[in-house]
Amino acid sequence: MRVSTQMIFQSGLTNILGSQDSLVKLRDQVSTQQRILQPSDDPTGAGTVLRLDEQLGISDQFRNNGSNLKSRLGLAESTLSSMTDTLGTTRTLLIQANNGANSDEDRKALADQLIGLRDQLLDAMNTQDANGDYIFSGNEGGTAPYQIVNGRYEYQGDQGKQMIQVASEVKLNANFPGFELFDNLSPVFSATGAMTAGGGTVTTDIADEGQFESFYRGNYDPNTPAGNTFSFTTAAGAPDTYQVTDSGGNVLASGNYVPGEPINFNGLNVTLDGAAGASADVTLDPPKRDNILNVLTDYAGLLTDPTRTTDQRQADAQYAQNIAVQTYNSVVGGQAQIGGRVNVIENLDNSSQASDIIIKSNRADIAEVDIGEAVSKLAQQQTIMQAAYSGFQMVNSLTLFNYVK
C-alpha cells in the first residue's frame, strides 16, 4: 500500500494527540488524587459517589443540628442546676422559718432572705440565650416568661414545641416551656377546722398524704361547698367518744375520744384539746396550685404578719414547703430530661461518625486514585509520548529525495 505524506502526518498527529490526552489525564489524576475527573470517566462510579456525597452532607447537617441543640440544652441544664441550689436553700429557710422560737426580727430577716431567693429564681426562670431569646418561653422567645400581671407572677410564654431533627428518624424538642417546669405542679389539698360548740381548739394536719388525697378527690365538690364540711362531735361518757358525720348526718367514723390526741380520719389528723361535749367542723379547702414566685411572695408577707397564730403559721409553712419541694422535683426532672436528650445526641453523633468512616472509605475506593499506580502510569505515558515524538520525527525524515541524494 502506498503511504502518502498526508497519511504519515495524520497518523503521527493522531498518535501524539492521543498520547498528550492520556498524559494530561494522568497528570490531573495525580494532582487531584481523584480517579473520576468527569462523569464520563466512570458513569456508574460517578453516580455512586454523588449518592455517597449526599449521604455525608446530610449526616454532617444532622450533627450540626445536634451540636446546636446540645449547646442550647447545655444553657438550660446550667440554669436548672443553679435553680436546684437556690431551691435547696429556700427549703432550708422555710424549715427554719417554721420554728416557733423565732422572734419577729428573726421572721423579718428570714422573709427578706426568701424574697432575695425569689428574685434569684425569677432571674433564672427568665434566662436568655446569646440571641436574646428567653429559653423557658416555649416558642415565644421574645417574651419574658414570668411577668407580674395584676400583682401576681404569671407565665406569659406558650407551650409550643420546636422539634430539631438530629437523625433521619429522630427529632428532639428544643423547648422547655416554663409552665411545664414551674407551674404545672400537683394541687395541694388541705382542710381547715373550726370549733362549733364547747371549749378548746381544733387543729388539722395531714398524717397520710396518699390516703387524704384519695379521700379529698372522692369527696371534694366545688359546686356544693356545704358537702365539703364534716362534723366532729365529742360526747362525755365512760369512756368519752367521738363521731364524724357528713353534711347529710351520716356517721362516717366513731371511736373513743381523748382530749389532745388526734382523731385520724382518712389520712387527716384532727385534734381537739377541749373536754368532751365540744364539736368542730372540718372543711376541705379548695385545691391550691401556684408557682414558687407567688408562694414565696405570699409566705414572706404572712411570715411578718404579727396576727398569724401558731397553727396558721404552721399551715403557711407547710403549703410553702410543699410547693418548694414540688418545684425542686420538677426542676430536677427537667435536668433529667435534658440529660436524656444530650445522651441521645451524643450516641447519634458517635454512630454517625462511625458510619461516615465506612462511607468515606467506600467513596475513596471508588473515586480516589491509587497514587502509586497513577505515578507509575504517568511515567509510562511520558515514555510513550517521547516515543511518539521520536517515531514521527524518524518517519518524517524518510523522503525519496533524501534517499537518492
Q: What is the mean pLDDT of residues 371-398?
A: 78
Domain range enclosing 254:
188-288
Q: Which residue has the higher pLDDT, 90 or 8?
A: 90
From residue 159, alpha-carbon distances to 19, 118, 183 in Å are 70, 23, 12
Residues 134 and 283 in one domain: no
This prediction's pTM: 0.73
Q: What is the mean pLDDT of residues 372-395?
A: 80
Contacts of 65 (CB under 8 A, 6+ apart): 164, 165, 166
Nearest in space to 159 (alpha carbons), one of 187, 190, 180: 180
Question: Is 232 part of a structural domain of the chain?
Answer: yes
Q: Residue 96 has what pLDDT?
A: 93
Question: Is 222 part of a structural domain of the chain?
Answer: yes
Q: Residue 206 has what pLDDT?
A: 86
Residues 77 and 154 in one domain: yes
Residues 216 and 174 in one domain: no
From residue 245, alpha-carbon distances to 212, 225, 251, 286 in Å are 17, 16, 4, 20
Lowest mean pLDDT among 38-42, 64-68, 284-288: 38-42
pLDDT band per the 50, 70, 90 thresholds, residue 156: very high
Residue 5 pLDDT > 80 = no
Question: Is 74 part of a structural domain of the chain?
Answer: yes
pLDDT band per the 50, 70, 90 thresholds, residue 358: very high
CATH number at residue 135: 1.20.1330.10
Residues 130 and 170 in one domain: yes
Q: Which residue has the higher pLDDT, 187 or 344?
A: 344
Residue 82 pLDDT > 70 = yes
Residues 225 and 165 in one domain: no
Residue 295 pLDDT > 90 = yes
pLDDT band per the 50, 70, 90 thresholds, residue 62: very high
Question: Is 215 part of a structural domain of the chain?
Answer: yes
Q: Residue 396 has what pLDDT?
A: 65
Residue 314 pLDDT > 80 = yes
Q: Using one digit for the tens of pLDDT, what is the confidence trace for 232-266?
A: 999 999 899 999 999 999 999 999 999 999 999 99
Question: Is 376 part of a structural domain of the chain?
Answer: no
361, exposed or middle or buried, with CB in 10 Å at 0-12, 13-18, 19+? Answer: exposed
Q: Residue 45 has what pLDDT?
A: 87
Residues 343 and 278 in one domain: no
Q: Are 124 and 83 in contact (CB under 8 A)?
A: yes
Residues 85 and 143 in one domain: yes
Residues 178 and 197 in one domain: no
Question: Is 117 part of a structural domain of the chain?
Answer: yes
Residue 294 pLDDT > 90 = yes
Count of domains for the chain: 2
* Cα-trace Rg, the chain: 42
Average pLDDT over the chain reads: 89
Q: Residue 384 has what pLDDT?
A: 82
Question: Is 48 part of a structural domain of the chain?
Answer: no
Residues 212 and 259 in one domain: yes
Lowest mean pLDDT among 293-297, 347-351, 390-394: 390-394
- C-alpha span between 366 and 372 (Å, rounded): 16
Residues 120 and 200 in one domain: no
pLDDT band per the 50, 70, 90 thresholds, residue 399: low
Residues 113 and 100 in one domain: yes
Angle (CA) 158-169-55 rounded to 5° is: 125
Q: Residue 398 has what pLDDT?
A: 62
Q: Residue 309 has what pLDDT?
A: 84
pLDDT band per the 50, 70, 90 thresholds, residue 289: confident
Question: Is 386 part of a structural domain of the chain?
Answer: no
Q: What is the mean pLDDT of residues 192-197?
A: 92
Residues 62 and 156 in one domain: yes
Q: Are 316 and 300 in contact (CB under 8 A)?
A: no
